[in-house]
Chain A
Amino acid sequence: MSHLVLSRTILAASLAAAATLTTGQVFAEESHLPDEPIRFVTPYPAGGSHSLHAGIITAVGEDFLGRPLISVIRGGGGGAVAAAEVAGSTPNGTMLLFGDPTINSLRPQVEDLPYQMDDFVPVARINYSPAIFVTTPDQPFQSITELVEYAEENPNEIVYSSDNRNGFTYTVFEMLKATAGIDMRGVELGGGGPAVTQLLGGNTMAYAGDPSVVGEHLEAGSLVGLCVTDTERFEAYGDIPTCQEEGYDVVFQFWRGVMAPSGTPDEVIAELSDGFQRLTEDEGFLRLIGQIGSGIQFLGHEDFAEALSAEQAALREAYLGE
């Protein structure tokens, strides 16, 4: 059993390092949270940017929330399995979902899932990232306008890498197709990794994804950025225009946020929201988030609720209003 002791020692040492890294906020007033660990549920399999964010949050979160955070990675059904489980859990702040727009805004409206949008109350938005439309340097189009023109001349000729039905990439391409009135074929490849692979290998012609997935290839020059699905340009790649600038109204911010099951008492939501706010202001946390190429665009529970219902309404109009 000496093996076990050894790995435990390493663990303990790294945990101690984690504790000294953060400033260690102490709770002044009484907590409304039950005295047990908080399960922080990542709805996707290990390996994506979601689980990476969750890993950092749960590793340093205890000092800011006053309760240990347990990271539960629960993939399946494109996030629906975990969402249904959290929606049905006891609403007292001990089980939280690390949600996103496809799970919390889009899919409950367009698919028949075992949970509804209003089964969740927003707690805090951690950050968001836009999608960047990309292509390879040897394609006949090198800007979004050229892509649309090419698609108009050759309807259904452009094959693009998509992720999952009603996923992030799938949605922004549907938006582009609708707003530009063009036809293209998407191949659902199941995730960002295979999607970029097929694009780089010349099997598909375009893709749109998270900056953390495509960023490095943009820097290396193996991919060309077409436009950004945000209201302003992405700081690190300032030369890529927004889609709006180019005349296509495609705005989709893929946020990552903490959701609690509805019925959670308001004071618990407020306390959690404050805790996550302190967490996102911590230097050590910000350094780690910066290292994974991400940033913080924090919204507290009230602002987040507002932004969320606006987004849900916009998606309802875009998808079901047609």
Chain B
Amino acid sequence: MDIAVLQQGLAMLASPWTFLALSAGLAGGILIGALPGLTATMAVAVLAPFTFFMEATIGIPFLLGIYKGAIYGGSIPAILVNTPGTAAAAATARDGYALTQQGKSRKALELSLYSSVVADFMATLVLIMVAIPLASIAIRFGSPEFALLYLIALTMIATVSGESFLKGLIAAGLGLLVASIGLDPMSGYQRFTFGNTDLLGGVSLIPLLIGMFALSEILMQLTHPPERPSGNRKVVEHGGERLKWAEFWALRPTILRSTSLGTFLGSLPGLGAEIACWIAYGLARGRSREPDKFGKGSLEGLAAAESGNNAVVPAALIPMTVFGIPGDTITAVLIGALMAQGMMPGPLLIQQNPGFLFGLFLVLLVTNVLLLIFGLAAIRWLKQVTRIPSTVLYPCVLLLCVCGAYAVNSSTFDLLILVVGGGLGYVMRRTHFPIAPLIIGLLLGPGFESAVRQSLVFSNGSLAIFWSRPGSLILLILLALVILTMAWRGLVKAGVIRKRSNAHPPKSNNT
């Protein structure tokens, strides 16, 4: 690399204003991300116009700070009150909230912070070093490969179905049906809108998600008021024990695996953190020695979900910096902000302004270090949330949910979706229907359907497109392997349980 480029990049970082803007963005981003309904995309979109009047070296780091902060912030309410701030944090809520219920919220928050930072850091290094070769592979991926990737992610329904696979499948089917509501972009048909204008755009995902998780949680708290914190009161008050280094060190294969997966999926333009977190989660469960702990406060599950969805963030910048193509909606907003600074990301930026780009990469790395510091400071306060009595906490959660659900689209119809989601989520939880498969179906259904239909246009209706391309053939074999492994494990488990249950009756190790 050129010395001048290096110097220019470092000079940008050395400016105190850059640093200040970055810190302010990060702090604001964590706060925004922690509020359900306010997503990173929205925060960047709303605040981007203000950066048009700032210097590029201040405005862009400010936005990057918001971006990273908001993505991390989404995991906080997921862990503390079972309310994923963003769709990508839905997998985090599963084990994170289970840990909180066991009085281990501090451990969960620390683990989520560390795995986010580690994953983000490694993925950023990948972005800096191999962006161009990785992007040239990623861009070869067409709709057939996407369809198969979606299908692999959909098989994860089996791993999150809990005690009843049948109910998991039903939930996933309902999610897929709800996802098909709205205007179909390929044919222009208005599917299942029942003449309702608001349904034309489909069922808004975030309000439904908030309703299913947060409102149903409030109702569950009323149904089963938790017993008074018994035993060691001091432990509960301080959010429980800290994460031990040995525990974190033991998770390194999980984190590494999820990070590589997240980085790869993120570098494919169009696939986001929502798909990465579930595949990473399912993969971690498949490789785990304690798969039964997943969903009940598994550290592996939490680490896998968090590192999977955070590795996507820098990876999504790969198609942006190499081709000027947005990897997801938020990078689309970032491209806009960069353009307004007179810097169109893409092949020309690499040639014409490598110093700025290098500085940007350095800023990304520094952001991670800052995120760690800010995160640790935030956890000192956040662990107190568990001390707030439920009579105060849950009314405030309700308020935030209503405001957040409205904020997504400034629509009162979304509030109806919120309460319908809340009621549905409550009924499902009371009757042992798992919610996670429904969310997976809802998140991945539209992407899967359009990828399949696009593939068929490519191939003029022939299904051979799914095995005639080298990429899709590899993925098809992978899919077959995943399904076979699952089936095999399921059979073994059924056999094993019957054998063992004669010796030891199954005991519930819930606290």
> Which A residues are CB-close (under 8 A) to B143?
187, 198, 203
User: Which A residues from 43 to 70 make CB contacts under 8 A with B?
Assistant: 45-49, 51-52, 55-56, 58-59
> Which B residues are CB-close (under 8 A) to A58?
49
Q: Does B173 contact A (CB under 8 A)?
A: no
Contact (A159, B458) CB under 8 Å given A56-B49, A114-B197, A291-B340: yes
Contact (A222, B336) CB under 8 Å given A45-B329, A73-B45: no
Task: Among A4, A7, A10, A293, find the residue whose CB has the most chain B CB atoms closer than 10 A.
Answer: A7
Q: Does B431 contact A (CB under 8 A)?
A: no
> Which B residues are CB-close (under 8 A) to A15?
50
User: Which B residues from 126 to 171 make CB contacts under 8 A with A?
Assistant: 139-143
B456 to chain A, nearest CB (A): 10
A308–B323 CA distance with the chains assembled, in angstroms: 36
A114 to chain B, nearest CB (A): 4
Q: What is the size, in residues, of chain B's interface with A at 8 Å between Cβ atoms?
A: 68
User: Which A residues from 278 to 311 make CB contacts under 8 A with B?
Assistant: 288, 291-293
User: Which B residues from 353 to 399 make CB contacts under 8 A with A?
Assistant: none
Q: Does A76 contact B (CB under 8 A)?
A: yes
Q: What is the size, in residues, of chain A's interface with B at 8 Å between Cβ atoms?
A: 70
From A57, which residue of chain B is reached at the shortest CB distance? B49
Binding site secondary structure of chain A = helix
Task: Determine whether the beta carbon of B53 is less than 8 Å from that of A14.
Answer: yes
Task: Determine whether the beta carbon of A190 is less than 8 Å from that of B457.
Answer: no
> Which A residues are CB-close (under 8 A) to B47?
11
> Which B residues are CB-close (under 8 A) to A164?
185-186
From B347, which residue of chain A is reached at the shortest CB distance? A220
Q: Does A263 contact B (CB under 8 A)?
A: no
From B454, which residue of chain A is reached at the shortest CB distance? A187
Contact (A193, B332) CB under 8 Å given A56-B49, A76-B200: yes
Contact (A18, B45) CB under 8 Å given A111-B188, A222-B347: no
Residue from B42, B201, B333 in contact with A77 in the complex, judged by beta carbons closer than 8 Å:
B201
Residue from B27, B30, B325, B410 in contact with A72 in the complex, judged by beta carbons closer than 8 Å:
B410
Q: Does A118 contact B (CB under 8 A)?
A: no
Task: Determine whether the beta carbon of A76 is less than 8 Å from that of B409.
Answer: yes
A6-48 CB mask vs B (1 if < 8 Å, else 0) is 1101110011011001000000000000000000000001111
> Which B residues are CB-close (under 8 A) to A197?
139, 269-270, 319, 323, 325
Show 25 residue pairs from A and B whose CB-CB distance is below 8 angstroms, ordered by the A residue: A6-B23, A10-B25, A11-B47, A18-B50, A18-B53, A46-B41, A59-B49, A76-B202, A77-B182, A80-B183, A165-B185, A166-B188, A188-B186, A190-B450, A193-B269, A194-B270, A197-B270, A197-B319, A198-B142, A200-B325, A201-B139, A201-B141, A216-B324, A288-B340, A291-B342
Binding site for B on A (CB under 8 A): 3-4, 6-7, 9-11, 14-15, 17-18, 21, 45-49, 51-52, 55-56, 58-59, 71-78, 80-81, 84-85, 111-112, 114, 156, 159, 164-166, 185-190, 193-194, 196-198, 200-204, 212, 215-217, 219-220, 222, 288, 291-293
Binding site for A on B (CB under 8 A): 21, 23-25, 27-28, 30-31, 41-42, 44-54, 62, 139-143, 182-183, 185-188, 190, 197-198, 200-202, 269-270, 319, 323-326, 329-330, 332-333, 335-336, 339-342, 344, 346-348, 409-411, 450, 454, 457-458, 460
